[in-house]
Each structure stands twice: as structure tokens, then as C-alpha cells.
Amino acid sequence: MSTKTKTTAWSDVRTKRPVDETAVAEHVAQMEAEERAYRLREIREEQGVTQKELADRMAITQPTISALEAGDLDRSGLATLKSYVEALGGSIEVIATFGNRKVVLSTRP
């Protein structure tokens, strides 16, 4: 007895289940935020600094550092991000973009 597998064309599948572009964009944004946060964590770890030590340097709590490093960058205030980077010896530049025009809002110390 042979069993035949019914195949469906990809276009038929997509028609029945259209892409939710908003959901895709949200997932992409979340993945990008997590990647940026991971890069910050890598720098902290390369310097041999624990989350607790960094939190102490910044006068904030370790769970705040943990949340930031888990990808919560968009919800973190600019002052917190600046403090995080500076506590590890880095600096931040803030640039506003308006089409092809850029305005530097803050520069490295």
C-alpha cells in the first residue's frame, strides 16, 4: 500500500496565511535591540566587570543592568545608556536624522 503526500504550492500557503508586516517589523526591531544589548554585555564581560559591579558604578540596581542587557534598550533612558557606556570607559554620540540631514545632539567628552 502506498501513501501519497499531498503537496501545496507556497503561493497557496501564503494566500491562506498572509504576512503580518507589522508583526514582522516588531520582531525584527526586538531582535536588533537584543543584538545591540548583547554587544554591550560582551564589552562588559571582556572588561571582567560583573553586572553588580557595573550597577554599583552607576548607582543603580543590578536588575536594571540585567534588563538593559536583555534587550530593553528602547525603554532605557538616554541618561542610563550614557551612564552604562561611560562606566565601561566608552562614550555616546546622539545624532538626529531628518531624511538625509543629520544633527549631532551630543558629542564625545
Banded pLDDT at 102 (limits 50, 70, 90): very high
| Full set of structural domains in the chain with CATH | 22-106 (1.10.260.40)
From residue 33, alpha-carbon distances to 15, 45, 54, 71 in Å are 31, 18, 20, 5
pTM: 0.70
* DSSP designation for 66: H
pLDDT digits (tens, 9 = 90+) for 10-69: 888 878 888 888 999 999 988 998 899 999 999 999 999 999 999 999 999 999 999 999
